[in-house]
Amino acid sequence: MDNSYLIKTDELVKIFPMGKSKITALNHVNLQFKKAEFSGLVGPSGSGKTTLLNIVGSLDSPTEGSATVMGRKIEDLSHKQGAELRNRHIGFIFQTFNLLPVYTVFENVEFPLLLLGLSAQERKKKVMKALEWVQLADRVKSKPAQLSGGESQRVAIARAVVKEPKIILADEPTANLDAENSHNILRTLEKINRELETTFIFATHDEKVIRYLRRKITLIDGKVARDEVFENPVGKGEGQ
């Protein structure tokens, strides 16, 4: 395996049984993602975007072929090993933020670090750093219910980046946000990508997100239809 790739799929196939028939969600997908990529999976609903994110995020395993993430074959991982991989190396950003409502902003961001078993001092330092990235250091004591949609998503981003993972998987991260908040979020993510060299993979059909991507992979019927690289994404500088 070429070690310069963080993620590599070889002839990746995912088939879901649907009653007596079968649906092929991914059909012999071959992709590689390098460190610090800012890429996105685009395509219509049912094209296999989320299925691919699931497999790369060790939430699901392939039916055929192979997916290698951080040098570990997803199909060979036990549930516990999959959880460990997610815990150490993968951050998730969801469409609906999914913050824990009874905990403060600080505690929500702190949670992944608790799973890593870091000391209180280390946790505090990392949480504050993550909140500064998303410009919410002054809202540490707020509860999710007291935040706007944009702020909630920024907390979710802080939660995803706090452990400084190598990979962040974002599923429609701007779907519930207005244009201004979407641009703010995307600029924040781009900044994190640049400064921490985190590999981002989006699953989206939001045009605003697509304009920020440096690599756009179009999936149609579970196959890679196009894989385009942009030196200067058009979204850069928008919304300012």
Partner 1 sequence: MIKFILKGILRDRSRSLFPVLVVAIGVFLTVLFYSYMGGVMTSFLDTSAKFDTGHLKIMSRAYAENSDQMPNDLAYIGVERLMNELKKDFPGYVWTKRIRFGGLLDVPDDSGETRAQGPVAGLALDLFTPDSLEWKLLGIKDSIVQGNAPEKPGEILISDEFAKRLGISPGETVTLIGSTMYGSMAAANFTVAGTVHFGITALDRGAVVADVTDIQMALDMEDAAGEILGFFDNFVYREEEAGLAALKFNVKYEGEKDEFSPVMMSLHEQGGMIDMMGMINLYLPVLVIVFVIIMSIVLWNAGLIGSLRRYGEIGVRLAMGESKGHLYRSTIIESIFLGVIGTVIGTALALVIAFWLQEKGFNISQMMQSSTLLMNDVIRAKVTPMSFVIGFIPGLLSNVFGSSIAGIGIYKRKTAQLMKELEV
Which amino acid belongs to residue 236?
K
The binding track of 168-187 with respect to partner 1, each residue x by CB under 8 A or -, is ---xx---------------
Question: Could you tell me which residues are beta bridge partners of residue 224?
Answer: 219
Q: How far is the CB of 215 from partner 1 (least distance, A)?
A: 21
**Footprint of partner 1 on residues 100-119 (CB under 8 A)?**
100-103, 107, 110-112, 114-115
Contact status: 159 vs partner 1 (CB under 8 A): yes
| # residues contacting partner 1 (CB under 8 A) | 34
Contacts of 231 (CB under 8 A, 6+ apart): 214
Contact status: 90 vs partner 1 (CB under 8 A): yes
Q: What phi, psi does 226 have (nearest 5°)?
A: -145, 150
**Footprint of partner 1 on residues 25-84 (CB under 8 A)?**
50, 53-54, 57, 59-60, 79-80, 82-84
Contact status: 151 vs partner 1 (CB under 8 A): no
Contact status: 190 vs partner 1 (CB under 8 A): no
Footprint of partner 1 (CB under 8 A): 50, 53-54, 57, 59-60, 79-80, 82-88, 90, 92, 94-96, 98, 100-103, 107, 110-112, 114-115, 159, 171-172
